[in-house]
């Protein structure tokens, strides 16, 4: 028989809230508004959930996380009508993470299933986060960002509003982006690509043959600066044989902000270091190897 919800005596739970069987609400938690918590969800302590917010079954929310409050927008005042938050099943939301509601009363901020938000991660208003996404400590997603399934957002990353991150992409720690990041690619620094997320592709179970074709497609379409039509033309040559290439192609066709590309060369600080460290007679051979590794 399902276990009844357990609410700590120091918690404050709105009469409009709906707690499914097996829910645990820990000390000093505050639930205000028509919040719905799915079966087995646990609020450990000091969690604040507000408004039209739903969290699916099996979620765990850690202390000082704040979910469902209004967006950080100069036009939105406390008490103004705002939208909703929808979080899927088996989410893990760590300490001080924030998920803000949509700025439009009839819209939602959406977080998918099995999403892991680490300490201090921020999901801005009207974001759409896919399934199996990991967002690490201190990562900041401005409003209206879209993150596709299995993307990995490293620590202290900053994404501009309306940016998109493609399926299986990875953003290295401390990076900042104000354009879109194609599927399965790895971004670093400011608006730069450094290759494919090969580890993520293998973990997703993609066949070796597809990964090999995806590497070729990446080199053809993203290694050098090309106009959008030429990038699309080159990806079309791989799309019928390679799922990741098809994803990249569709992503380019639908981007509005433009996409990141690689610079086709080893990074300048790498070149400077090698010039100091290597003898002239091995310089040319080494530079060829560095370029191949940087673009792999």
Task: Identify how many contiguous H helices and E strands the chain contains and give both numbers.
Answer: 6, 28
Report d(CA 91, CA 79) in Å as an integer. Answer: 28
Q: Residue written as tokens 């099996």?
A: 58
Can you tell me the distance from the alpha carbon of 67 to that of 51, in angstroms, rounded to the nearest whole number? 9
How far apart, in Å, do the first and last CA atoms of the chain sit? 54
Q: Which residues participate in catalysis according to the annotation?
A: 125-126, 143
Other beta carbons within 10 angstroms of residue 39's beta carbon come to 17
Sign of CA dihedral 227, 228, 230, 234: positive
State the CB neighbour count (10 A cutoff) for residue 99: 31
User: Which tokens hold the place of 33?
Assistant: 């508004």
Using an 8 Å Cβ cutoff, are 189 and 220 in contact? no
- What is the number of other CB atoms lying within 10 angstroms of the CB of residue 255? 15
Structure token digits, residue 29: 């938690």
């Amino acid at each position: 028989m399902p276990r009844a919800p357990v609410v700590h005596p120091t918690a404050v739970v709105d009469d409009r809230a709906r707690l499914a069987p097996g829910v645990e609400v820990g000390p000093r938690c505050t639930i205000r508004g028509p919040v719905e918590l799915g079966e087995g969800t646990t609020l450990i302590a000091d969690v604040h959930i507000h408004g039209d917010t739903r969290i699916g079954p099996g979620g765990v929310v850690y202390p000082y996380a704040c979910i469902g409050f209004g967006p950080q927008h100069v036009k939105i005042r406390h008490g103004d009508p705002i939208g909703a938050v929808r979080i899927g099943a088996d989410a893990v939301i760590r300490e001080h993470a924030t998920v803000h509601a949509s700025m439009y009363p009839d819209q939602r901020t959406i977080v998918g299933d099995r999403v892991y938000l680490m300490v201090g991660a921020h999901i801005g208003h009207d974001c759409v986060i896919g399934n199996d996404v990991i967002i690490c400590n201190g990562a900041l997603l401005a409003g209206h960002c879209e993150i596709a399934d299995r993307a990995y957002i490293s620590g202290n990353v900053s994404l501009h509003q309306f940016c998109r991150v493609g399926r299986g992409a990875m953003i290295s720690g401390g990076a900042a982006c104000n354009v879109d990041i194609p599927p399965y690619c790895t971004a670093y620094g400011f608006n730069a690509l450094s290759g494919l997320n090969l580890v993520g592709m293998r973990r997703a179970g993609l066949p070796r043959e597809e990964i090999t074709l995806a590497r070729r497609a990446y080199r053809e379409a993203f290694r050098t600066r090309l106009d959008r039509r030429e990038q699309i033309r080159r990806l079309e040559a791989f799309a019928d044989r390679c799922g990741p290439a098809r994803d990249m192609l569709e992503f380019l066709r639908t981007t509005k902000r433009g996409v990141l590309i690689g610079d086709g060369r080893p990074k300048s600080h790498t070149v400077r270091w090698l010039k100091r460290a290597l003898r002239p007679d091995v310089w040319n051979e080494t530079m060829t190897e560095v370029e191949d590794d940087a673009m792999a």
